[in-house]
Structure 1
Amino acid sequence: MTEPLDLSDIPSPLRLRLDGDALVHNWRTLNDMSGRAVAGAAVKANGYGLGAREVVARLSAAGCRNFFVAHWREAAEIADLVPPASISVLNGVLPEEVSAARRIGAKPVINSMDQLATWQASGGGRCDLMFDSGMNRLGIEDHRAGAVAAMSLDVDTVMSHLASADEDVPQNAHQLARFQAVASHFPNARKSLANSAGIALGTDYHFDLTRPGLSLYGGIQRKQLEERIRQVAYPEARVLQIRDLQPGDKVGYNATFTADRPMTVAITAIGYADGYTRALSNHGYFTVGESQAQVIGFVSMDLCILALEDGVRTTPVWVCPRFNLPLSAAASGRSQYELLTSLGYRYDRVWLSKAHKTSESLKSLTIR
């Protein structure tokens, strides 16, 4: 058997250009919108697919002091970058995780009476508490707030989670009222309710600490964020081949597209395994230099076929799928969260300064 190969010098035909300036701008914007509260950052799911370590390093340098992950492995991945006590593990702590939790030093977000018993039995210590205010996901039942407060726990933050902050519905006010009742039992703990969309609901929802996630990475759920949040992620795919089609030529699996005229197409190295959903078959769009190209045929696991505009005889080495998150979500039927977190491991993640964001994309191929 041979030693494992070093993959660091093997280029990928996929890359994700990431705008660190936009990331920091978005956090500062959400922090300002949080009023007297401070904004933390949800960096779970590998920083919503962009790379948790790079995200945390940039946001920490910008002044962010509170980070939220889902799992203990995610906490361990960033615990050398920020004080572990500034990391909250949203899924709480299970008996088999106690040893790792103690070793890492992050705070569990206690979600149930069982988790509370597990934490106390292991020695207790600093923790956060999540109460259910009407979402019926994770969270201690809100009617137990008084009994939990009487336990003299070492609580940093008491929190709940809004289910419908991206909509103007009565549920938001109902959850706010239930959380306010819970919060009254914990006068010495910080309070946190608002996610990205919740920040835009107004000051009543801000309390002491907000927990933006999606909008840090360019997602927009409410109109109040449209002119303030900048795009962060720009996927790009390598052109692998140029083909000329004749009328009647069929394209892709199950021949869902048939050429009705002479056409030139580009075969690109991106597919549904890379988060480019099959739902965009025959109607997704890519930017190809100064022009647009429509996806034709079914999106394959690793490939897309693009119909180049008539008269286009050169194409960039790299092409860009349309990735405006709200528009892409509407076109694909997938949530903005899914679009971000499904950007897989095959992308080279490249954090670039403004001066270098497009230089490599300017190289072109001549169509033969």
Structure 2
Amino acid sequence: MSRFDTVQPHTDAATLTVDLGALVANWRQLAALAGSEAGAVVKADAYGIGIEPAVTALSGAGCRSFFVAHLSEGIRARSVAPEATIYVLNGLLPGRCAVYAEHALSPVLGSRDELAEWSGFRATGAAVRPAALHVDTGMNRLGLQPSEALDLARGHDAVAAAGIGLLMTHFSASEDEADPASERQAADFATIAAAFPGLPASLKNSSGHFLPDCPSYALTRPGYALYGGNPTPGRANPMRQVVGLEARIIQLRSVEAGAQVGYNGRWTAPRRSLLATICLGYADGYPRNASGTDALPGGTALVGGVACPFVGSVSMDLIILDVTDAPSAARGEAVTLLGGPLDLEAVGAGAKTIGYEILTSLGRRYGRRYVGL
């Protein structure tokens, strides 16, 4: 039993199982593929599996660089990885420099204003970790424009004053090999990296590890693939599954053909059907868009290995399944909502969203079991 477990068998209605061994194996696979240092993106509560268990497992395996989105996430990561380099991706909000210093966190700076504030703080003699410089090569979201970065490179004074230790950019479409954006971004970043000789650089995200001829530079930043998401859509998933989700049947009932099911009667039974209600809903992070209606199919669960469709609306705490073709369906039986053939991509498609949203929405009401280490 892991110290991170929260399973209470007599009270939990649903259980989330996280395979930390698979997480570590995925990180090692990506590091080997890159041929350089692989960091780990652990933002959004480590994509829903928990920052503390994820960072503990990865740092124990040798990961030394982590990326989070917010300061609060960085503080949590620091609590279990005292020696790691922890970058905060979402930039430097005004007046926060002292918090970065207190927790030895590295801001990812993406504007001249951020550079100026951080440089001014460093000039006071404050002890801080090296920051990262973010250059925008195509997202139009965060980061310096390439021309701004090249202007900085000509003088180097501003970069030195800010104590920059890493240069980075972010792909906008690396999961699609046919999209020319990645090649264009990589070329632009190569020009910028060459203007900062000796400065370590980072380009690859999860899917970037699988782009032909894409340079790894000093550090890569896998995220989704670490947690079992497919970084090569349309092809077999090269990553191991990390997350499994089960809930239990609380009630069975038979309905006649023509019966309307769930809120607003959005699904109509086409035959005499056996329905099972499970203890899980959108309050647990399962998207309401997974509802099964007369117009559109929704999500799927496995009952005794049989795929059973969601019928009616996903409600706050409950989901109804059509288990007519599942002979093992019984009150109290565990059903699988994530795991095996129901991988992140399949579950995301059933909920009319993407696997990223499925992961990062994983609810706090689940009993959590951590295995594999």
Taking structure 2 as the reference length, the TM-score comes to 0.87
Residue 352 of structure 2 is matched in structure 1 by 333
For 2:112 and 2:314, how far apart are their aligned partners in 1? 47
Contact persistence 2:19–2:371 (CA under 8 A)? yes
Provide, for residues 73-113 of structure 1, a one-character-per-residue CA deviation record: whole Å limited to 9, x for no partner. 00001112213551011112222322211111111111111
For 1:238 and 1:311, how far apart are their aligned partners in 2? 14
Q: 2:336 aligns with which of 299, 320, 327?
A: 320
CA 1:103–1:312: 2 relative to 1, 3 Å: same
Q: 2:229 aligns with which of 219, 223, 239?
A: 219
Q: 1:176 aligns with which of 176, 186, 190?
A: 186
Query: Is 1:134 aligned with 2:138?
Result: yes
Q: Give 1:207 deviation, angstroms.
A: 1.1
For 2:76 and 2:353, how far apart are their aligned partners in 1? 28
Q: Map 1:272-291 to 2 at 5 A.
A: 272-282=282-292, 283=297, 284-291=299-306
Query: Is 1:164 aligned with 2:179?
Result: no
Supply the AA of the counterpart residue of 2:187. Answer: A
Supply the AA of the counterpart residue of 1:318. Answer: A
Residue 148 of structure 2 is matched in structure 1 by 144
Report the 3-state secondary structure (helix = DSSP H, G, I; strand = E; otherwise coil) of the residue aligned with 2:147. helix
- Name which of structure 1's ranges 53-62 and 303-312 shifts more when overlaid on structure 2: 303-312
Q: Give 1:314 deviation, angstroms.
A: 4.1
Residue 308 of structure 1 is matched in structure 2 by 323
Provide, for residues 115-171 of structure 1, a one-character-per-residue CA deviation record: whole Å limited to 9, x for no partner. 111101212642111111121111012112244341224221100001010112111
Provide, for residues 238-294 of structure 1, a one-character-per-residue CA deviation record: whole Å limited to 9, x for no partner. 222222223343210111223343322111111123232222222321111232221
Contact persistence 1:200–1:225 (CA under 8 A)? no
For 2:96 and 2:248, how far apart are their aligned partners in 1? 42
Contact persistence 2:24–2:57 (CA under 8 A)? yes
For 1:133 and 1:261, how far apart are their aligned partners in 2? 55
For 2:53 and 2:144, how far apart are their aligned partners in 1? 33
Q: Map 1:1-368 to 2 at 5 A.
A: 11-35=11-35, 37-83=36-82, 86-123=85-122, 125=128, 126-149=130-153, 150-151=156-157, 152-153=160-161, 154-167=163-176, 168-222=178-232, 226-282=236-292, 283=297, 284-310=299-325, 312=327, 314-315=329-330, 317-322=333-338, 323-353=342-372
Instruction: Mark the runs of 5 or more structure 1 residues left unpaired by the alignment.
Output: 1-6, 355-368
For 1:311 and 1:55, how far apart are their aligned partners in 2? 36
- Name which of structure 1's ranges 80-89 and 129-138 shifts more when overlaid on structure 2: 80-89
For 1:208 and 1:224, how far apart are their aligned partners in 2? 29
For 1:191 and 1:81, how far apart are their aligned partners in 2? 26
Aligned CA-pair RMSD: 2.2
Matched pairs, number: 347
For 2:152 and 2:368, how far apart are their aligned partners in 1? 44
Residue 3 of structure 2 is matched in structure 1 by none
For 1:116 and 1:257, how far apart are their aligned partners in 2? 56
Report the 3-state secondary structure (helix = DSSP H, G, I; strand = E; otherwise coil) of the residue aligned with 2:172. coil
Contact persistence 2:175–2:207 (CA under 8 A)? yes
Q: Give 1:55 deviation, angstroms.
A: 0.6
Report the 3-state secondary structure (helix = DSSP H, G, I; strand = E; otherwise coil) of the residue aligned with 2:170. coil
Q: Give 1:8 deviation, angstroms.
A: 8.5
